[in-house]
Amino acid sequence: MSFHKLIETLNKQKISYDPERLKKVFDFAAAAHEGQLRYSGEKYIEHPLQVARILAGLGQSAEVIEAALLHDTVEDNPTITLEQIEKEFGPDVAFLVDGVTKVGKVRLRGSTDQIFVENLRKMFVAMAQDIRVVLIRLADRLHNMQTLDAIPLSKQKRIAQETLEVYAPLAERLGMGFLKGQLEDLAFAYALPKEYHWVTSLSLPHFHHAEETTKHLIRQMKQKLQENNIRALVHGRHKHKYSLYKKLLRPEINKDIKKIHDLIALRIITDNKLNCYSALGIIHTHWKPVPHIGVSDFIAQPKPNGYQSIHTKIFDKSGRIVEIQIRSEAMHQQAEFGAAAHFVYSEAKAKGLSSTELDKGKISLDLGKKMDWVKQLAAWQAEIGSNEEFVKNLKLDALSSRIYVFSPKGDVFDLPSQATPIDFAFAVHSGLGNFVQAAKVNGKIVSLNYQLSSGDVVEIIKSKNPRKPTKDWIRFAKTQKAIAKIRQLNPE
Ligand code: MN
């Protein structure tokens, strides 16, 4: 790829940049990597160029693009220092290059848990400081995965596993569905080749069949929406292979692909929020919703990573169950690009943050709740130090699969899977943990070691007087926050 292609993408995305300065950055990076080749035999500069282009595609600022071009220079060329970059291109770009270098320096996988978590912690700290550092790392990883074929076989599997265990979940937590899906599918074939082939051959005929039947359904839905003056795009989205694999392994599915109704889900993208609800009404008027599975309204109650959509399941004319996702264009941008979404910037601008503040990454603080878990993780680590159990828990907390539960008022809480009402109590407020009398889930009293599931409404029945959490609660608690508090109140 040439420098010219990067310029094309910048122009297409309407990103403002100083052409002279950008050329200077590119020449600097090209000189720094002079004579270096990638495993594929290409010149090394191809890699930073592609990373910069991925970020340009995500609408990132010129500063991020410059840092992407420079991201491997300090690490790969011993004669180049950070001071030099700062002198040539200013402290802001140097700060980003430094962050990316630090975050990427040590491998996350294949080492001991201690080192793994120490590196993970570095990443969280960097993320809490400036989300753009992590965006550059994710784009870097995406390009490395796209070119994984060229590297030695012995390294492929480790890198692919690290991608599945660390980078894809990270992209998901940042609400970047687009990156998460690509990283997972690229890594799947290398990390779990046998499983990849199994899913591919198992699903192929079913995908074909689903394509045939949804084609017709899409046409009918477009027509019904049009008749009712709803402006909307309707298309089918293919389920990513890795998420299909994980779903097939769920006990209730038991590897039976016929039980999976969203191989191709229909996506309706409207121009605004109100029309999402109108579209839902029109769909349910013409196609019967599947009873008991119900409608999930993630517009009224967004997922903690910012995801919004209405999900419903209907019967098509032949009695097949089809999943439908309804969202507005802005919600779609958020679901695909999350922390990098353009409209996040424009919204924050509307709130009065100056563009300098935005470009400096202050936006990450303004994303508020979405980034809370990042700050919490960084803070806990600093508070507690690093004993082995903490390390294990932090690893689980951060990257295990998550469930979303609700308070009776409808607030959403994001907990690790297998979390219990104890974790919920401490997540709501650390003080609430000291007043736990009993817990109700979906209106019924449950034991305190009850395992919560996504969608549960959890209510803590408070005691009149404080009740010290007992030590055996540690066995029920899954979050580091709850465990740390219980331990604090029950010193050895
Ligand atoms: Mn790189």
How many A from CA of 195 to the centre of ligand 1?
A: 29
Question: For residues 448 and 474, is the Cβ–Cβ distance under 8 A?
Answer: no
If you count DSSP H runs as helices and E runs as strands, how many of each does the chain have, helices first?
Answer: 23, 10
The pLDDT of residue 120 is 63
How many A from CA of 219 to the centre of ligand 1?
A: 44
How many A from CA of 47 to the centre of ligand 1?
A: 7
76 assigned to active site: yes
The pLDDT of residue 369 is 43
Instruction: Give, for all 492 residues of the chain, the pLDDT tens digit.
Output: 789 999 999 999 888 999 999 999 999 999 999 999 998 899 999 999 999 999 998 888 899 999 999 999 998 899 999 999 999 999 999 989 988 887 765 455 444 555 565 566 666 666 656 778 888 989 999 999 999 999 988 889 988 988 887 788 778 877 788 899 999 999 999 999 999 999 999 999 999 989 988 999 999 999 999 999 999 999 999 999 999 999 999 888 999 999 998 899 999 999 999 999 999 999 999 999 998 777 999 999 888 777 899 999 999 888 888 999 999 988 888 888 776 664 344 444 444 444 444 444 333 333 444 445 555 555 544 544 444 555 555 555 555 566 777 777 766 677 888 899 999 999 888 788 889 999 999 888 999 999 998 777 899 999 988 888 888 898 889 888 898 889 888 887
User: Which DSSP helix (H) or strand (E) runs through 326?
Assistant: strand 321-328
How many A from CA of 261 to the centre of ligand 1?
A: 39
- What is the rounded CA–CA span in Å between residue 353 and residue 346? 10
- What is the rounded CA–CA span in Å between residue 107 and residue 122? 12
Identity of the residue numbered 376: Q
SS3 sequence, 406-461?
ECCCCCEEEEECCCCHHHHHHHHCCCHHHHEEEEEECCEEECCCCCCCCCCEEEEE
Question: For residues 213 and 318, is the Cβ–Cβ distance under 8 A?
Answer: yes
75 assigned to active site: yes
How many A from CA of 368 to the centre of ligand 1?
A: 29
How many A from CA of 71 to the centre of ligand 1?
A: 6
Q: Which of 76, 88, 165, 329 is catalytic?
A: 76
How many A from CA of 140 to the centre of ligand 1?
A: 5
The pLDDT of residue 301 is 86
User: What residues are neighbours of ligand 1 (ion), with CB under 5 Å?
Assistant: 72, 140
Q: Which of 46, 75, 86, 118 is catalytic?
A: 75
Two structure tokens written together for 91: 């402290």
How many A from CA of 78 to the centre of ligand 1?
A: 16
